[in-house]
Structure 1
Amino acid sequence: MIETTMATAQRQFDIAAELLALEPEVRDMLREPRRELIVHFPVKLDNGRVRTLTGYRVHHNITRGPALGGLRLQSSATLDEMQALAMWMTWSCAIVQIPYGGAKGAIVCDHRELTSGELERIIRRYVTEITPLIGAERDVIMPDLNTNEQTMAWIMDTYSMHHGYTMPSVATGKPVQVGGSQGHGQGTARGLCYTVRQAASKIGLDLAGARVVMQGSGSTGRLVLQFLAEMGCRVIAASDDNTGVVAETDAGIDVNTLIEHRVNTDGVANLAGTKPISHNELLELPCDILVLAAGQNDISGANAGRIQAKIVVELANGPITPTGDSILANKQIMVVPDILANAGGIVVSYFEWVQGLQEFFWTEREVHGELATTMERAFNEVFTVAQERFVPLRTAAYLLAVDRVVRAMAMRGIYP
């Protein structure tokens, strides 16, 4: 039986808590979110009917600063999943030394069934419902699954209208015309590629010609493919929600052709120069780098023994179960964990937050340069802990992140 997402997050935390010998009361505080808000709100649709939707906003820990977390539109969203994602955000922020805590939010809906006007009304009503929790110094919202810069602009505008003046730093990932940062849309993808570069250097892997398998090819995944190709990597297989394809020759798949086909057809099926492959077969292909950019629990005890990659990188949250982790570690496959690999978006969100508060904006080159420095430093700090403690990168990342949060909690104490 596959455990819940929150159970997976808690098991990952428990491993670090045991190695850090945390007191039981400290563990209890960090195993559960600090607060959870569930809202049910009506929205008028274009046809005049009223539909009641459910929304979530979860804060895991805010000891190190305001909460930061994405807002997603997802018909299958659950409170359990938001709890886990908020916890992972806490650890990500701590790993990259960003002064935030973890949050996550969702509106339960299928965005594909809604018009632009309906989406705007839904977002604005959701923001109104959660206004007591959010703010530039309380909880900063960023894009996530099925939300984008337009969504963030609506969020910022709604919150600002409630307060009577423009408050840009309540949301990040906004259009540059309303206080967004240069380079934000590329932050997650670039950040992941910087960690791939560092990981490859640690195991002596030359990225020139390195074989890449990409599980999932959404907007961020396509950027990852583009940047890895620019680094010299060779993409040999890719997938979407429904199917996968593998290159018919050793030359691999032309990334520009793949991206164009994916955008035009909303999938990878029937891509020239490829043949179909199942999702399970794709994960088990011999390759140098396997990027997991789809769902959760895709590598588990059932298939981890057949994974043949040298480096597995988690773009998605929670794609490997704890049992799968253990098997990959025994096979000496390096796993770059989600809380490190996909933290680039968090870093650039922080840059945007700072720029908005200061009303002083950076160039795209400055953003990319600071992002590279931050991600490379974070990877090397995690790698050092892994070497010193003889543990996998995920455990090392948790040791580093949890310790930083616990130290901050100890310094602040408990009020009253």
Structure 2
Amino acid sequence: MSNLSYISQNNGPWSTYLEQIDRVAPYLEHLEDYIDTLKRPKRALIVDVPIVMDDGTIQHFEGYRVQHNLSRGPGKGGIRYHPDVDLNEVMALSAWMTIKTAVLNLPFGGAKGGVRVDPRKLSPRELERLTRRYTSEISHIIGPQKDIPAPDVGTNANVMGWIMDTYSSGQGHTVTGVVTGKPVHLGGSLGRVKATGRGVFITGQQVADKIKLPLEGAKIAVQGFGNVGSEAAYLFVESGSKIVTIQDHTGTIYNPEGINLEELKVYFEKNQGVGGFAGAQAISDEDFWSVEMDILIPAALEGQITVERAEKITAKLVLEGANGPTYPDADDMLIKRGVTIVPDVICNAGGVTVSYFEWVQDMASYFWSEDEINQRLDKLMIQAINDVWHTASEKACSLRTAAFILGCERILKARMERGIFPG
């Protein structure tokens, strides 16, 4: 028995992932023989991250790096700084990355990392010390051909720059390809910051057209107003939609006539949240789910859409900008009510797709324009969502199941063809 088996018995993101794998198993035919490959991570590292605080005291933080599956290439996945980070969450996020890279047919496996910390409570120097120590603790399992981290919740381009510098110091030369999502002048890619939100919009646009949902005048609800939620919101507004409600960690705002995003942007940058914005009324966090809407974009954390909330949601289309925002039983409820769900493993894959472009550019030391990036991103996302839609129609299943069928087939074929060592 795996020493990580106990986690599968607990509620949480890993249990959600395991249930999703069980649901796709009947569609995999002979490849089902290899499905246990997907039910356990290849490698899970837990590290102690001690740092000297600005006041001279020493504090310890717990860090993680999980490589779920490397059958199709090096690991790929973000690093999250959040007070709720734990092994259960990081395992699930790494597994969803495995599926996501396979659905997009990128030459990567799935990985994820994190540190249990509230980065807002650290000074810039403390944050840098934390990052560099964490990097040193995981440096033996990361690298441009091993596992390539990227930003996630609580981390950004600056953090990726520190990781690259720390890793490079240990190698004796600059290794730009060890991370993606880093500053452009350090080998980052144009278009990376907006890529995930753009992917949410592109897949949403494609599916809205297929289900005959006009974007002109569509009412949209957005949970989370970071890089993903805000960029998706801007692009939908450009297409004639209106954002009627937004929720983040500071509160929930509502304006049935549409929230002015330009005014909100100014307010958000000053106040670091949407709560208290004068251009909309405050409503309770729970009322967010029952607002009249056509499209819902959960772009915050996992585990947000429960059965109780699924019963209230008025949207015709859900676009999962976050990873794992919908519990399986809530998924069933939404489908029963005729709601179309574009699952996270395709919907928010724009970020990892442009991360792939960044990695390729770093390997070649040749960089593309932002227009080239967006054209390549749009082409891959449209192809992937069309493949998922076709599979869903052919198998008479949900888009989530279809995406998992495509992803799992590609991963398990790679596992089968590589064989098991030793034989």
TM-score (norm. length: structure 2):
0.95
Corresponding residue for 1:158? 166
Deviations 1:215-255 (A, max 9, x none): 221232112211211122111111111421111x5x31111
Corresponding residue for 2:221? 213
Aligned to 2:307, the other structure's residue is in SS state coil
CA contact (8 A) 1:243 1:276 kept: yes
Residue identity matched to 1:391: C
CA contact (8 A) 2:202 2:378 kept: yes
The CA distance in 2 between the partners of 1:175 and 1:143, in whole Å, is: 11
Residue identity matched to 2:381: M
The CA distance in 2 between the partners of 1:22 and 1:188, in whole Å, is: 34
CA drift at 1:86: 0.3
**C-alpha distance 278-21 of structure 1, shift in aligned 2 (>3 A):** farther
Deviates more, 1:62-71 or 1:23-32: 23-32
Matched pairs, number: 414
Residue identity matched to 2:129: R
User: Which consecutive segments of 4 or more residues in structure 1 shift more than 3 A?
Assistant: 21-25
Taking the TM superposition and a 5 Å limit, the aligned residue runs for 1:105-184 are 105-184=113-192
Match of 1:361 among 359, 367, 370: 367
CA drift at 1:102: 0.4
CA contact (8 A) 2:260 2:279 kept: no
Unaligned runs of 5+ in 2: 1-8
Residue identity matched to 2:24: A
CA contact (8 A) 1:187 1:344 kept: yes
CA drift at 1:409: 0.9
Match of 1:80 among 88, 91, 98: 88
CA drift at 1:264: 1.9
Residue identity matched to 1:366: E
CA drift at 1:2: 9.2
The CA distance in 2 between the partners of 1:225 and 1:55, in whole Å, is: 33
CA drift at 1:176: 1.2
Deviations 1:120-161 (A, max 9, x none): 111111111111100000000100111111111111111111
Match of 2:406 among 382, 396, 400: 400
The CA distance in 2 between the partners of 1:217 and 1:361, in whole Å, is: 29
Corresponding residue for 1:349? 355
Deviations 1:298-328 (A, max 9, x none): 2222221221101001111111110000111
TM-score (norm. length: structure 1):
0.96
CA contact (8 A) 2:66 2:113 kept: yes
Match of 1:388 among 383, 394, 414: 394
The CA distance in 2 between the partners of 1:166 and 1:2, in whole Å, is: 42
CA contact (8 A) 1:215 1:283 kept: no
Structure 1 position 93 matched with structure 2 position 101: yes
Deviations 1:172-227 (A, max 9, x none): 01111111111111111111110011011101122121111112212321122112
Structure 1 position 373 matched with structure 2 position 375: no
The CA distance in 2 between the partners of 1:120 and 1:144, in whole Å, is: 16
Aligned to 1:379, the other structure's residue is in SS state helix
Identical columns (%):
40
Residue identity matched to 1:401: G
Residue identity matched to 2:313: I
CA drift at 1:22: 5.4
Aligned to 1:180, the other structure's residue is in SS state coil
The CA distance in 2 between the partners of 1:86 and 1:7, in whole Å, is: 13
The CA distance in 2 between the partners of 1:14 and 1:272, in whole Å, is: 47
Residue identity matched to 2:112: K
Deviates more, 1:96-105 or 1:219-228: 219-228
Deviates more, 1:96-105 or 1:210-219: 210-219
The CA distance in 2 between the partners of 1:215 and 1:24, in whole Å, is: 36
The CA distance in 1 between the partners of 2:271 and 2:350, in whole Å, is: 29
Corresponding residue for 1:31? 39
Taking the TM superposition and a 5 Å limit, the aligned residue runs for 1:277-356 are 277-356=283-362
Aligned to 1:145, the other structure's residue is in SS state coil
Residue identity matched to 2:287: E
